[in-house]
Amino acid sequence: MISAPLTYNGAAVTLTNATSINNFGQIVAQGTYTYKDAAGKDATGTRSFVLNAA
């Protein structure tokens, strides 16, 4: 359970894929976010995250 919203540079992140979990309870996941580019237009980015399940 994620107890706080994930953000990147103030943009909300939507998790799209969890690729692995290890013996320490860490989950590797990817997520997307929407931000304004230099021209002020909406753009989408992708980030990887390591989440602690403990």
Q: What is the pLDDT of residue 9?
A: 84
pLDDT confidence tier of residue 8, bands split at 50, 70 and 90: confident
- Each as own residue / partner, the long-range contacts of residues 43-47 (CB below 8 Å, 24 or more positions apart, any chain) are 45/8, 45/11, 47/8, 47/13
Q: What is the pLDDT of residue 34?
A: 94
CB 8 within 8 A of CB 47: yes
DSSP state of 37: -
Q: What is the pLDDT of residue 2?
A: 61
Class of residue 1 by CB neighbours under 10 A (exposed 0-12, middle 13-18, buried 19+)? exposed
E strands, the chain, in order:
7-8, 11-21, 26-36, 42-52
Q: Is the pTM of this model over 0.85?
A: no
Q: What is the pLDDT of residue 53?
A: 80
Note the pLDDT tens digit of each residue in 29-45. 999 999 999 999 999 99
Average pLDDT for 17-24: 91
